[in-house]
Amino acid sequence: MVLQVLSCRAEAPQLAADALANYLASDQWVQLLPHPSGSVPKLPDLPMPLGPGVVVASGGSSGQPRLCLHPLRHLQRSAQATAEWLVDTGISPEHSLVFNPLPFHHVSGLMPWWRSRQWGIPHVWLSPDLMKDPVALSRFTESVVGWHDKAALLSLVPTQLTRLMGHPAGRTWLQQFSVIWIGGAALSDELAQQARKTGLRLSPCYGATETAAMVTIQKPEAFLAAEPGSGSPLMDVELRLSQEGALQVRCSRLALASWCRDQPDRLSELVDCQGWWTSGDLADLSGNGMTLRLNVLGRRDNAIHSGGETVFPERLEERLRSAARELGLPLRDVLIVGVSDSTWGQILVAIIRPIYSEQQDQLLQALPVLCAEWSVAERPKRWLGCADLEVNASGKWERSRWSHWARAAQ
């Protein structure tokens, strides 16, 4: 079977969606690529399973994108599981509106479109330019039929949420949604607190390209009540932890196979002999049965081994942001990476970005003081300022890239 390749332009997602629908109707496999394709590789000419299906690249947070093969039935099962969650939340999927500001070549942007098709409801694209202009965004959605009559559903990454909440019109717009699924990256405590004060019906969730999107979702009421974590597993999902504490998932919509550059001549199985997929995330599970709750601790490949201790930089970054916020320090963002060291194995290097460039020296002097009471392994040994520090287009940190940058800055 010949693999079709579909280039997805951010400015014209409906063209790509129409083309994909036609390919799937013809029982073909289709690889979704961004335009330009950048670092996302094209799947080589390899024997493919029976179609139809899609090939989607993972987020590549470790710097090595993985291509995942999902037959059409996996998209259908994912959409059905989300519909069942909505019904349990008191929302009828058939009387909803789906708003989608996420890239179509990524599973986070593909699935809102597919859900709308399966549920038979309107789907509204939100362009990157529109998402950066809350006033224009509000005017646009006022013209959408059913905006004030139906349950509006939205998927966001934390970066988009932050930008919208920074503008009065953006906050007012967000308040109109019945559910705002938030995923793709960790939701900071500060942002969560701001969202609760604004009354936003956020639903933190966990999912992956390998799982055809969401496998756990927190209900908006639980979020507003300040319950931690990423919610409970959907009806078709089982969760457990490996001996190392990695989150494992079993469901009927795990990717059939994957491909990566390390093994370019074959497709690889994702699951073990019992059907479990081991994610790249360390997690805690609390409760059991219907009360099971997921709390993601951090990426396994982000863990830093310093002085015989294992340190999770995401936790330290959040602690530092919180401490800086309490003191009113002008910290826009911080990223902590590990750099090889002959004595410690790895040392922690903190890369900081001030709100204004002229405040960098102030931060470089003040922030180390905030960490003085941390354990020796947790305290960054070096501090670097960078005006260009930011997440990628998917709202994720490219930690490998910034680790290389920190080494070069020595």
Over residues 79-88, mean pLDDT: 98
HEC string of the chain equals CCCEEEEECCCCHHHHHHHHHHHHHCCCEEEEEECCCCCCCCCCCCCCCCCCEEEEECCCCCCCCCEEEEEHHHHHHHHHHHHHHHHHHCCCHHHEEEEECCCCCCHHHHHHHHHHHHHCCCEEECCHHHHCCHHHHHHHHHCCCCCCCCEEEEEECHHHHHHHHCCHHHHHHHCCCCEEEECCCCCCHHHHHHHHHHCCCEEEEEEEHHHCEEEEECCHHHHHCCCCCCCEECCCCEEEECCCCEEEEECCCCCCEEECCCCCCCCECCCCCCCCEEEEEEEEEECCHHHCEEEEEEEHHHCEEECCEEECHHHHHHHHHHHHHHCCCCEEEEEEEEEEECCCEEEEEEEEEECCHHHHHHHHHHHHHHCCCCCCCCCCCEEEECCCCCCCCCCCCCHHHHHHHHHHCC
The C-alpha atoms of residue 110 and residue 20 are separated, in whole angstroms, by 10
Task: Choose the most confident range, by mean pLDDT, from 52-66, 194-208, 383-397.
Answer: 194-208
Question: What's the pLDDT score for residue 214?
Answer: 98
Closest CA to 56 of 207, 217, 226: 207
pLDDT of residue 26: 96
Tell the residue number behind the tokens 């639980």, with chain if given: 222
Q: Sign of the C-alpha dihedral, residues 85, 91, 96, 99?
A: negative
Q: Put the strands of the sheet holding 331-341 in their side by side order.
A: 331-341, 345-354, 382-385
pLDDT at 394 over 80: no
Pairing of strands 4-8, 29-34: parallel
Q: Please write the tens of the pLDDT for every residue from 248-295.
A: 999 999 999 999 988 899 999 999 999 999 998 999 999 987 789 999
Cα within 13 Å of Cα(130), Cβ side: 17
Nearest to 209 by CA among 395, 66, 379, 398: 66
pLDDT band at residue 61 using 50, 70 and 90 as cut-offs = very low
**What is the model's pLDDT at position 7?**
95
- Confidence grade of residue 64 (pLDDT, cut at 50, 70, 90): low
CATH placement of domain 72-255+267-299: 3.40.50.12780
- pLDDT above 90 covers what percent of the chain? 76
Stronger pLDDT, 398 or 86, i.e. the higher one: 86
Predicted confidence (pLDDT) at residue 62 exceeds the cutoff of 70: no
Mean pLDDT for the chain? 92
How confident is the model over 108-129, as a mean pLDDT?
Answer: 97
Cα distances (angstroms) measured from residue 196 to each of 171, 189, 223: 11, 11, 8
Query: What pLDDT is attached to residue 59?
Result: 58
Q: What count of other Cβ atoms lies within 10 Å of the Cβ of residue 362?
A: 14
- Identify which of 72-76, 320-324, 354-358, 391-395 has the greatest average pLDDT: 72-76
pLDDT over 70 (residue 393)? yes
Residues 120-152 have pLDDT tens digits of 999 999 999 999 999 999 999 999 999 999 999
Q: What are phi and psi of 53, to 5 degrees?
A: -175, 175
Count of other CB atoms within 10 angstroms of residue 381: 16
pLDDT in tens, 163-207: 999 999 999 999 999 999 999 878 888 899 999 999 999 999 999
Residues 6 or more apart whose Cβ sits within 8 Å of residue 289: none
305-358 residue pLDDT tens: 887 777 889 889 989 998 999 999 999 999 999 998 877 888 999 999 999 989
Nearest to 298 by CA among 338, 349, 258, 355: 338
Q: Residue 308's pLDDT is what?
A: 75
Q: Which of 65, 76, 69 is nearest to 3 (CA)?
A: 69
Interhelix angle 189-198/313-326, rounded to 10 degrees, is: 60
> What is the mean pLDDT of the segment spanning 205-229?
97
Confidence of residue 27 (pLDDT cuts 50, 70, 90): very high
Q: Residue 266: phi, psi to the nearest 5?
A: -155, 160
Please say whether the structural domain 303-408 has been given the CATH code 3.40.605.10. Answer: no
The whole-angstrom separation of Cα 384 and Cα 351 is 5
Q: Which amino acid is at 301?
A: D
Average pLDDT over residues 152-171: 94
Delimit the domains of the chain by residue range. 72-255+267-299, 303-408
